């Protein structure tokens, strides 16, 4: 049994009376402490999958078990407690603009009765890990994208969750910043053993961080396994298209003559 | 002094005379008192109602379709009544609350009945503007609905709530002037009694200066406060 175990997950939305099946029987098994990649095109259902895991969206059918806890059967109070065990970071960072970096990071502790003690030391510690010790008094409005995501990461990890859901966490960042953020996530993963679900549409992100991955297409996992194996096998339609697009980009410089503009 | 027999310029000059301002001064305090109390009532109940509306919205934190539709309907009805009509309609309510239907306190009931629904709508539209992502983030960290309202929705929308409140205070102020006709006192009452009924246009002018100055000051304070917060948060 994996640490994150999803079996037969289904979710459909009703759009103007018509049902739209977004997740069709998704199975997923993620081991404790690994960084697991989920790749898929826009609209494949990646965000919906992530949101079903911490029940920002209620799935229609299926089972979600994290560390032995059956997420879908939790009552309201238990769900709130369990969510503190599942961190989440976002493409648009979703920081609180009314709060300083310090208060953003401290937020998960402030809302929890049991965690109020020792907030200060823990915030300083988390800020140090993400390299923002000198920005604590600033407001997120004045930070760069990379710095904002660092705040998001510190905020998601301050509760020491066992799982981190990363939904396109680097998609709004430039390649260099993306690399730094991925490096940071890898470092945190190695140090704390947090299980990371890396959702993305960028092959490079998966290649750089994940040992295992799954390809989601139209709500179905069409392939999964070791990243290297999946990369070697481009039988699937998504695989094929992804690699084609990827290869085109790699060849980019030839088209422009190589010397740039 | 009346415009009927005195040139405009003389009336304007006359409106700065000390005896005119002796009449106006107590009325200014009455107006300030009414505006302050009615604004406070509007703030408290308008904010509460606005939050309830957003929270019970079908897409909100705690969807309650019945409540949402019912209160939306009630607000629309209250907002469609002309202020003058509202004052008359509130006479029985004021009689129940204060035992009389005439004077400052009863008029404040009518002012509140007019301005609370307006401010509630402003609050609603302010809160609806907040990005869904922030609410999702707060939820993902295990926030309760109350925590989301108090720690996220209100602080995040504060500049916009302040600007909306400025609009509400000015609406309250303009309505105190109208309520003056129903025994509420204040600058509006002075303007009507002296300016309209007794043709003392110098007094009317002075009353107008006061109202203009008050609106300017309120607007300035609102803009200043909201801009300061936005600047502090590095959002411009
Ligand atoms: N709340 C919702 N109501 C209706 N339809 C929705 C809702 N959320 C998602 N969908 C639909 O579900 C499909 C999958 O959306 P989802 O956001 O999961 O895709 P995604 O793989 O994350 O795409 P992207 O890479 O663009 O983020 C889309 O067609 C979207 O329109
Ligand atoms: Mg998405």
Q: Is A40 in the pocket of ligand 1 (CB under 6 A)?
A: yes
Q: A142 — contact with chain B (CB < 8 Å)?
A: yes
Give the tens place of pLDDT for each residue, A153-188: 999 999 999 999 999 999 999 999 999 999 999 999
Tell me how far apart the alpha carbons of residues B156 and B154 are, in angstroms, rounded to a whole number.
Answer: 6
Among protein residues, the one whose CA lies closest to atom 2 of ligand 1: A13
Which among A54, A96, A159 is the nearest to B152, CB-wise? A96
Structure tokens at A117: 């003690």
What DSSP state is assigned to residue B71?
Answer: H
Residue in A68, A71, A29, A189 with CA at minimum distance from that of residue A38? A29
CB-CB neighbors (< 8 A) of A55 in chain B: none
Cα separation, B152 vs B78, in Å, equals: 30
The pLDDT value recorded for residue A254 is: 55
Nearest-CA residue of chain A relative to B136?
Answer: A56
Q: Is B234 on the interface with A (CB under 8 A)?
A: yes
CB contact under 8 A, B233 and A96: no
Is it the case that residue A228 has pLDDT exceeding 60? Answer: yes
**Range of lowest pLDDT (A13-22, A142-151, B84-93):** B84-93
The residue nearest atom 5 of ligand 1, judged by CA position, is A13
ipTM: 0.90
In whole angstroms, what is the distance from residue B123 CA to residue A168 CA?
Answer: 32
A46 plus A175 within the same structural domain: yes
What band does A210 get if pLDDT is binned at 50, 70 and 90? very high
Q: How many domains does chain A have?
A: 2
Could you tell me the two tokens for A108?
């998960």
In a shared domain, residues A113 and A81: no
Same domain, A167 and A150: no
Cα–Cα distance for residue pair A170/A173, rounded to 1 Å: 5
Which bin fits A36, alpha (ψ -120 to 50), beta or left (φ > 0)? Answer: beta
Q: Are A8 and A111 contained in the same domain?
A: no
> Edge-to-edge strands of the sheet including A220-226?
A86-90, A163-167, A195-200, A35-39, A212-217, A220-226
Confidence at A261, pLDDT banded by 50, 70, 90: very low
Give the minimum alpha-carbon distance from B127 to chain A in angstroms, rounded to a whole number: 14
Q: What's the pLDDT at A232? A: 72
Same domain for A59 and A171, yes or no, is yes
The shortest CB-CB distance from B137 to any of A81, A94, A110 is to A94
What distance lies between CA A124 and its chain's CA centroid? 24
pLDDT value for A100: 97
pLDDT in tens, chain B (236 residues): 788 888 888 888 888 888 888 888 999 999 999 999 999 999 999 999 999 999 999 999 999 999 999 999 999 999 998 888 888 888 888 888 888 777 788 888 888 889 999 999 999 999 999 999 999 999 999 999 999 999 999 999 999 999 999 999 999 998 988 887 777 888 888 888 888 888 888 888 899 999 999 999 999 999 999 999 999 999 88
Mark whether A113 and A226 lie in a shared domain: no
Asked if A90 lies within 8 A of B133 by C-beta distance, the reply is yes
> With an 8 Å Cβ cutoff, are B139 and A83 in contact?
yes
Q: Which of A111, A135, A140, A154 to mutate to test the interface with B (most CBs of B within 10 A)?
A: A111
Interval A127-140 mean pLDDT: 96
Write the DSSP assignment of chain A as a string of letters. Answer: --SEEEEEEEEEEEETTEEEEEEEEEEEEE-TT-EEEEE--TTSSHHHHHHHHTTSS--SEEEEEETTEEGGG--HHHHHHHHTTEEEEETT----TTS-HHHHHHHHHHT-GGG-TTHHHHHHHHHHHTT-GGGTTS-GGGS-HHHHHHHHHHHHHTT--SEEEEESTTTTS-HHHHHHHHHHHHHHHHHH--EEEEEES-HHHHHHH-SEEEEEETTEEEEEEEHHHHHH---SHHHHHHHHHHHHHHHHHHHTTSS--
Query: Facing residues of A12 across strands?
Result: A21
pLDDT score of A118? 87
Q: How confident is the model at residue A234 (pLDDT cuts 50, 70, 90)?
A: low
Q: Would you give the DSSP letter of residue B3? A: T
Nearest CA to ligand 1 atom 1: A13
pLDDT, chain A, mean: 90
A74 and A184 in a single domain? The answer is yes
Q: What is the pTM of this model?
A: 0.90
Taking only residues 190 to 249 of chain A, the set having a beta carbon closer than 8 angstroms to any beta carbon of chain B reads none
pLDDT at A140 over 90: yes
Domain check: are A73 and A115 in the same one? no
Give yes or no for residue A135 CB within 6 A of ligand 1: no
Q: How far is the CA of A88 from the centre of ligand 2 (A)?
A: 13
The strand pair at A212-217 and A220-226 is best described as antiparallel
A63 and A24 belong to one structural domain: yes
Residues of B within 8 A of A54 (CB-CB) are: 140
pLDDT digits (tens, 9 = 90+) for A81-105: 999 999 999 999 999 999 999 999 9
Atom of ligand 1 nearest to the CA of A15: 4
Higher pLDDT, residue A119 or B182: A119
Range(s) of the domain holding residue A97: 90-160
The residues, ordered by sequence, that sit 6+ positions from B160 with a Cβ below 8 Å of its Cβ are B126, B129, B226
d(Cα B52, Cα B67) in Å, to the nearest integer? 9
| Rounded Cα–Cα distance for residues B119 and B45 (Å) | 9
Name the residue facing A98 among B131, B147, B156 (closest C-beta): B156
Same domain, A16 and A117: no
Report the share of chain A in percent with pLDDT over 90. Answer: 76
Q: In what order do the strands lie in the sheet with A4-15?
A: A18-30, A4-15, A61-66, A69-70
| Cβ separation B234–A139 shorter than 8 A | yes
Residues A170, A155, single domain; the answer is no
Closest in A111, A139, A165 to B233, CB measured? A139
Whole-angstrom distance, CA of residue B22 vs CA of residue B10: 19
Report the distance separating Cα B39 and Cα B214, nearest Å.
14
Which CATH number is B3-235's, of 1.10.3720.10, 3.30.420.40, 1.25.40.10, 1.10.1740.10? 1.10.3720.10
Q: Are residues A137 and A224 in the same domain?
A: no
The sign one gets for the Cα dihedral B144, B146, B150, B154 is: positive
One-character DSSP codes across A99-158:
S-HHHHHHHHHHT-GGG-TTHHHHHHHHHHHTT-GGGTTS-GGGS-HHHHHHHHHHHHHT
| DSSP 8-state assignment for residue B170 | H
User: Residues in chain B, how many?
Assistant: 236
Average pLDDT over residues A202-216: 91
Does A148 touch chain B if contact means CB atoms closer than 8 Å? no
Q: How far is A30 from chain B (nearest CA, A)?
A: 20
pLDDT of residue A260: 46
pLDDT value, residue A239 = 63
Please work out whether the CB of residue A52 comes within 6 Å of at least one atom of ligand 1.
Answer: no
Q: What is the CATH number of the domain that holds A3?
A: 3.40.50.300
Q: Are strands A195-200 and A35-39 parallel, antiparallel or unpaired?
A: parallel
* CB A91 near ligand 1, within 6 Å: no
């Amino acid at each position: 049994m994996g640490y994150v175990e999803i079996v037969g997950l289904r979710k459909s939305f009703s759009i103007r009376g018509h049902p739209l099946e977004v997740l069709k029987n998704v199975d997923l098994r993620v081991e404790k402490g690994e960084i697991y990649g989920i790749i898929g095109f826009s609209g494949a259902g990646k965000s919906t999958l992530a949101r079903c895991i911490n029940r920002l969206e209620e799935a229609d059918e299926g089972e979600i078990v994290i560390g032995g806890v059956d997420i879908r059967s939790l009552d309201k109070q238990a769900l709130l407690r369990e969510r503190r065990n599942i961190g989440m970071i976002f493409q648009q960072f979703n920081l609180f603009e009314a709060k300083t970096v310090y208060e953003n990071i401290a937020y998960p502790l402030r809302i929890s009765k049991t965690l109020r003690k020792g907030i200060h030391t823990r915030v300083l510690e988390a800020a140090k890990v993400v390299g923002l010790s000198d920005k604590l008094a600033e407001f997120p409005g004045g930070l760069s994208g990379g710095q904002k995501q660092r705040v998001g990461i510190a905020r998601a990890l301050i509760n020491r969750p066992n799982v981190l859901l990363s939904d396109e966490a680097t998609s709004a960042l430039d390649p260099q910043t993306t690399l730094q953020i991925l490096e940071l996530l890898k470092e945190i993963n190695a140090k704390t053993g947090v299980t990371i679900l890396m959702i993305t549409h960028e092959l490079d992100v998966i290649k750089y961080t994940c040992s295992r991955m799954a390809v989601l297409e139209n709500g179905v996992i069409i392939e999964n396994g070791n990243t290297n194996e999946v990369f070697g096998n481009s039988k699937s339609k998504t695989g094929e298209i992804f690699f084609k697009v990827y290869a085109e980009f790699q060849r980019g410089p030839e088209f422009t003559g190589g010397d740039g503009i | 002094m009346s415009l009927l027999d005195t040139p405009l310029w003389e009336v304007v000059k006359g409106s700065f005379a000390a005896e005119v301002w002796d009449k106006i001064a107590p009325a200014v305090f009455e107006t300030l008192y009414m505006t302050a109390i009615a604004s406070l009532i509007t703030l408290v109940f308008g904010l509460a109602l606005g939050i309830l509306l957003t929270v019970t919205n079908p897409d909100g934190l705690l969807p309650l379709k019945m409540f949402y539709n019912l209160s939306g309907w009630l607000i629309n009805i209250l907002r469609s009544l002309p202020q003058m009509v509202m004052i008359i309609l509130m006479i029985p309510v004021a009689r129940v609350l204060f035992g009389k239907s005439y004077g400052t306190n009863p008029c404040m009931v009518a002012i509140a009945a007019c301005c609370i629904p307006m401010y509630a709508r402003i609050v609603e539209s302010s809160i609806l503007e907040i990005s869904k992502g922030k609410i999702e983030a707060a939820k993902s960290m295990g926030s309760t609905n109350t925590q989301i309202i108090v720690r996220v929705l209100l602080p995040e929308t504060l500049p916009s709530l302040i600007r909306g409140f400025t609009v509400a205070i000015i609406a309250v102020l303009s309505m105190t002037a109208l309520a003056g006709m129903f025994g509420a006192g204040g600058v509006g009452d002075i303007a009507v009694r002296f300016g309209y009924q007794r043709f003392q246009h110098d007094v009317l002018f002075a009353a107008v200066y006061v109202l203009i100055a008050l609106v300017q000051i309120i607007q300035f304070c609102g803009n200043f406060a909201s801009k300061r917060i936005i600047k502090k948060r590095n959002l411009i």
